[in-house]
Amino acid sequence: MRDWFKNAVVYQVYPKSFQDTDGDGLGDLRGVTQHLDYIRDLGVDVIWLNPVYKNSGVDGGYDISDYREIAPELGTMADFDELLAQAHARGLRIVMDLVVNHTSTEHRWFQESRASRDNDKRSFYVWRAPHEGKEPNGLRSAFSGSAWQKDETTGEYYLHMFAREQADLNWHEPRVREGVYDMMRWWLDKGVDGFRMDVITMIGKPEETIAADGGPGGDVCNGEKTHEYLREMNREVLSRYDIMTVGEAAGTSTEQAIRYASLDGSELNMIFQFEHMEVDAGAHGKWSDEPLDLPRLKAVLARWQTALHGRAWNSLYWDNHDQPRVVSRFGCDADETCRMRSAKMLAACLHMMQGTPYIYQGEELGMTNYPFADISESRDVEAVNAWQELVEERGELTGEQMMRAIRRKGRDNARTPMQWTAGKNAGFTNGEPWMPVNPNHDRINAEAEEGDPGSVLAFYRALIRIRRENPVVIDGDFTLLMPEDARVFAYTRCDGTHTLRVACNFSGETAKLDAEASFHGGRLLIGNYEDAGAADSLRPWECRVELE
């Protein structure tokens, strides 16, 4: 069945922070295998593994130096094969992270490419001559500074949309595409069940955006060639396997998404859009931590629901390895009551929409952001470079302002160790953990929640069951209610047989429901208070889902 992805729920594992089994303070593949029963018992179908390949250690595995070797710090290929076999034995599929917009500069392709201007692999990367002795154009890296790095060997610049150790591949070179497709087949023939494709909308860079013309550069995302190359990848690889694909698509509109994630199966199954993750950005991007504008968040998500319905497929996510913990960002982590209530409310709000839900490790426990004391605790190249640029070089933010931003929005928040127990290092490692363990693991941990029917963990399991038991969740349309209300996110899903009524209070105050959003005699499927409550109002952080 080719469209099993529509019924699937995905659990994302960042192996480096999931479970250490050899005492080096780093998570590893055997640690993932050790917890497969826990993942299965959540009720999910698919595990998305963040990159596990040999890499240069600059960007959490997203700087790959060998696509067919396992990173030694994570284990061996035998460990991977065992993980895959054990996952399949439990009915779990494994989706790999495909990072092919760029490679590490330690990759042999780049080493050959940089050797001379006329070598066989020069065209595998984006090389440009200086413009008037400087960078070819004004393109900027997502990790601060210019996107061009001068290489003294040949006096030319190479493009790196991320860290300088991550050189962008030139997808316009057919041999690059063939090499990538060959590698993809190699993993698929091992039995993996699909790919999450890193910044895949960057592969078709329009020539004018990377020209050595001294201009500002341009948007390297969503070039027409991207669709051409994805259709080629689909013909040459994807269509030949029963797999799931999801493309990471920063800066993508619903119109573009309808092509990338079209139900006709011509490109990918779905994409990760970023609009809802940018509603609290400001003048300094993510480092300007603006308060949540709920009507704006509702409008964005409603637009993605309605624009893709019947034409393409949505992914549904709040958390991942690049985002802060949603309960701290859009919910409340000030005390245990509001933390648990708002974590459940956020889960219900997301999971009752149309699309494939993604649960990031620890999200199902209601794990929170971490109270980073200073920049020395950050392990994230994005944050460290931003500190250097915004605080040290430009003085646009004070150190305290930047630390507040990192505590609120930094990727490190998602990379503190998974909290398994209340014990030492939350049961993550017997060694020195590579990232600090959140002190609140004494009450927020899988062991404590496992046996508690009122836990966030129990709530996620119940939500996944509701998705399984009610086709309206998979197929129903979407209607946003009370669009202007600053506290309530309410909507209905209808499939012609049933109506699912969802209402969520994104505030710590009681909120009224208007006549259209009020509950009227449906069957309560799930809520985060002990009793049903009033039909026309929601208590602080309350969510309710009824079936009519």
Report, as residue numbers or ranges, the catalytic residues. 198, 248
DSSP 79-119: HHHHHHHHHHHTT-EEEEEE--SEEETTSHHHHHHTT-TTS
Paired strand residues for 140: 146
Q: What 3-state class would DSSP assign to 439?
A: helix
Least distance (Å) between residue 114 CB and ligand TEU = 20
Is residue 289 part of the contact set for ligand TEU (CB under 6 A)?
no
Closest CB to ligand TEU among 267 and 322? 322
Residue of 546, 480, 482 whose CA lies nearest to 512: 482
Nearest Cα to Cα of residue 249 among 312, 283, 205, 202: 202
**Closest CB to ligand TEU among residues 248, 280:** 248
Q: Compare residues 165 and 333 and give the one whose CB is closer to ligand TEU.
A: 165
Structure tokens at 6: 């529509």
Nearer to ligand TEU, 83 or 161 (CB): 161
Among 36, 42, 115, 142, interactor with ligand TEU by CB under 6 A = 142
Give just the sign of the alpha carbon dihedral 402, 404, 405, 409. positive
Residue 499 corresponds to which tokens in the numbers above?
A: 């109506």
Instruction: Compare residues 135 and 198 and give the one whose CB is closer to ligand TEU.
Output: 198
Kindly state the smallest distance separating residue 385's Cβ from ligand TEU, in Å. Answer: 11
CB atoms within 10 A of CB 30: 18
Question: In the bound complex, what is the minimum distance in angstroms from residue 166's beta carbon to ligand TEU?
Answer: 6
Strands 488-494 and 499-505: antiparallel
DSSP string, 248-297: E-TT--HHHHHHHTBTT-SS-SEEE--GGGSTT-BTTBTTS-PPP-HHHH
* Tally of CB atoms within 10 A around 123: 15
Closer of 16 and 493 to ligand TEU (Cβ): 16
CB of 497 to ligand TEU, least distance (A): 38
Nearer to ligand TEU, 139 or 446 (CB): 139
Among all residues, whose Cβ is closest to ligand TEU? 62
- The least CB distance from residue 277 to ligand TEU, in Å, is 8
Contact call for residue 162 and ligand TEU (CB under 6 A) = yes
Q: Rank residues 167 and 488 by Cβ distance to ligand TEU and give the closer one.
A: 167
- Sole window of 56-64, 348-356, 489-497, 540-548 interacting with ligand TEU (rule: CB under 6 A): 56-64
- Residue 534 CB, shortest distance to ligand TEU, in Å, is 39
Which H or E element spans position 343? Answer: helix 336-351
The residue range among 55-63, 105-113, 133-141, 231-239 that interacts with ligand TEU, by the rule CB under 6 A, is 55-63
Q: For residue 128, what is the enclosing H or E element?
A: strand 127-128
Q: Which of residues 15-54 bind ligand TEU (CB under 6 A)?
A: none
Place of tokens 């009752």: 352
Binder among 59, 73, 165, 485 for ligand TEU (CB under 6 A): 59
Binding flag, residue 250, ligand TEU (CB under 6 A): yes
User: What letter does residue 507 receive in the DSSP assignment?
Assistant: S
**d(Cα 360, Cα 357) in Å, to the nearest integer?**
10
- Give CA–CA dist 28/21, Å, rounded: 7
Q: Which stretch binds ligand TEU (CB under 6 A): 57-65, 204-212, 222-230, 499-507?
A: 57-65
- 99 part of the interface to ligand TEU, by CB under 6 A: yes
- Single-letter code of the amino acid located at 115: A
Which of 45, 198, 333, 364 touches ligand TEU by CB under 6 A? 198
For ligand TEU, the binding residue among 98, 176, 199, 270 (CB under 6 A) is: 199
Tell me which DSSP letter residue 409 carries: H
**106 near ligand TEU (CB under 6 A):** no
Using the rule CB under 6 A, which residue among 156, 168, 322, 412 binds ligand TEU? 322
Residue entry with tokens 């042999």: 108
Please report, as ranges, the residues that interact with ligand TEU according to CB under 6 A. Answer: 59-60, 62, 99, 142, 162, 198-199, 248, 250, 286, 321-322, 382, 411
